Amino acid sequence: MQKLTNKAILIIGGTSGIGSATAALFAHEGADLTIAARKPWNDELAASIHDSGSRAQFVATDVSNTADIRALFDQHMELHGKIDVLFNNAAYDGPGTPVRETTDEELEKVLGTNIKGVFTSCREAIPYMEDAGQGVIINTTAGSAREGLAWPNLGAYIASKGAIISFTRALAVELSQSNIRVNSLNPGVVDTPLLNGFLDKSDDPQAFRESLNSVQLMGRIGQPDEIARAALFLASESSSFVTGTDLLVDGGLVLG
């Protein structure tokens, strides 16, 4: 039995990595989709969604731009007429420089994508969900934002992801009387274009990748489809008694 039949879902940051894997899985589970990102969906993802029979659209969106977010929700509602699940998955890792070398422009870009975009999209979704009397919000965070774990040269990124954890918890309390569940999904280190872009900024990307494998209890980094299955849990009725949590799916990274 499909877990998301008749659900209208908006995935922001849905054309690569975790977002792409989640979009394909959600479509397979019966959801109708709007997929938003700066970069368009690729032919493989579009074909996978089409083959599932899902009604889906792509909307080019800069999540740091409020006008873009509002236009995105307008287009989502025009096609689907409701929003059952919002998955905020867009992310920007930043320049990969020490804090003292991070420019105002880069700081604003990181915070604009990673926390302002999440805040704004939640703000846009809430009235629709309240009118419907139900809803689910999922915000992607990061293992590096958890206590006891951090890396150098990611100060702005880690700060933004920590803010999402706190914001998610606060929003879960705020919306608890509206039958809207709010959780964050914490994927640890996952083999995605975002990770590869960060590795490429290091002096020895292969050595850095091997070190990331070794610090996790399971001895490897995660795969996007493994995180997508956790997103499915949070989006579906399987997690009907879960709200205000930061769900770690990290292969034991935080304990490593």
DSSP string, 91-158: --------GGG--HHHHHHHHIIIIIHHHHHHHHHHHHHHHHT-EEEEEE--GGGSTT---TT-HHHH
Q: How far apart are CA 95 and CA 93, in angstroms?
A: 7
Residue 88 sits at φ, ψ, to 5 deg, of -90, 105
Instruction: Catalytic residue, from 157, 167, 198, 233: name it.
Output: 157
Catalytic status, residue 157: yes
**Count of H-run helices and E-run strands, the chain:** 9, 7
Beta bridge partners of 138: 87, 183
C-alpha 37 chain-centroid distance: 11
Tokens of 61: 């969106």
CA distances from 167 to 88, 129, 173, 198 (A): 13, 18, 10, 25
Which helix (H) or strand (E) covers residue 167, if one does? helix 155-174
Q: How far apart are CA 226 and CA 152, in angstroms?
A: 26
Residues with a known catalytic role: 157
